[in-house]
Copies of this chain bind each other. A is one copy, B any other.
Amino acid sequence: MKGEIISVGTELLLGEVVDTNSNYLALQLPLVGIDLRWISTVGDSLDGLIEVFHRAIGRSDIIIATGGLGPTGDDLTREAIAAVLGETPSVNEALLEGLRAFFLRFGRTMSPHNIKQATLIPSAEAIVNPRGTAPGWWVEKGMSTIVAIPGPPGEMQRMWEIEVAPRLQKKIFGHFKICRTLKCFGRGEAETDELIASMYLLKNPDLGIYAKPDGIHLRLVAMAGKEIEAREMLDSAEVRLRDILGDSVWGSDSETLETVTGELLARLGLKLATMESVTGGLLASTVTDVPGSSGYFQGGLISYTSESKSLFGVEAGLIEKHGAVSHETAQAMADVARCRFNADIGLATTGVAGPDPMEGKPPGLVYIAISDHRGTRSVEAHYPPRRPDVKRLAVIHALFLLRQVLLELEPEGGHQWGLSSA
């Protein structure tokens, strides 16, 4: 099946927005058997859109369009599809009701501009969008299938995963192709690549390595006539990779370090508290991104000055002697977090976010400490000295350490990674 992506939006042509949707879809399309041949980016002009859709229909079996489904005058994807197929949009009463209900739910008044979001053409079915006002369009006519999805990534990805991908998979007969991603932290891309070199020879599952914001991702893609066969191939490749990489593998697929550590905390019945300097709240914010985190996260302190560190119980003399950016201060902060919040585990970060040095210490230098009933430990790390990277990497690193400590605290036999298919 030949596929094509049409990214709609003048903001893409002006460079105001990076087109991450196309990248997301490019990664997803092979999984439903679509061979992506073209990506076309086009502005919010009806003529331009009509030209692009017209060409796409001539050369592609499946066309995925993102964007241009909003309520305003420059949202023209619906109009372009209608024009190319020679059909006329009309208001669908059920969609209009849904839209009214959406506005009611949030106590807002619906503008007359929104009405066009409730229109369909005869060849189109609506695709539900609980996250926004724009339903998608699923259009089948002649040999072509056009799927129009809203542009905001949150709405787009949900609609793809829940509504569009399963339907395409059903539509496109073919081999089962299943992916699994293992996520690692602690080694660089080149080092990991060398360690797993032998695995590249397998071909099926095919292995790819990617440097991502939360570490190194290893992606396995298995292909087989039956789903169970593909899964077994993935399972055995996963076992081999985990043998090679050991504890640096912290999760798989949709797992994040915050969900992995959250599950361990909940299972062990342990409470966490944080005290942050260099990460400025990002550590606590990441922990609380997980629904249900109020069950194990007690709270946190953010001490962005030395005074505020001692305010909460880090000895002023200790800071003076060793500096605010030191093993000693990090450990004292972890202890303070644990005691202040009556938590089982205290996790702390201190360091230099940059761009300027602090206490003569360079941007990118970070200390992370963790405290539990057995004592307090800390590590020193050096990250690339860009402020957002320092914050992000320190949080990932802190959660990775938290995971290690939680695995140590698991009762005998508990420290067993399950296969992700389990």
Chain A contacts to B: CB under 8 angstroms: 7, 10-20, 22-28, 30, 36-44, 48, 52, 55, 70-74, 106-108, 110-111, 113-114, 131, 152, 154, 179, 181, 188-191, 193-194, 200, 208-211, 219, 274, 276, 279-289, 291, 293-294, 297-305, 307-308, 311, 340-341, 353-356, 364, 382-384, 386-389, 391
Contact = CB atoms under 8 A, between A and B. Distances in A.
Task: Say what secondary structure dominates the interface of chain A.
Answer: mixed
A39 B36 contact: no
17 contacts: A14-B30, A15-B28, A38-B52, A39-B39, A39-B40, A39-B41, A40-B41, A71-B189, A72-B209, A113-B193, A131-B386, A274-B281, A280-B289, A281-B302, A284-B304, A291-B387, A299-B304
Given A18-B18, A37-B13, A294 B298 contact: no
- Copies of the polypeptide in the assembly: 2
Given A113-B190, A280-B285, A289-B387, 6 more contacts: A38-B52, A40-B41, A108-B188, A154-B388, A299-B301, A311-B340
Contacts of A23: 15, 17-19
A18 B20 contact: yes
A27 B22 CA distance: 18
A29 to B, nearest CB: 8
B288 A284 contact: no
Nearest to A3: B13
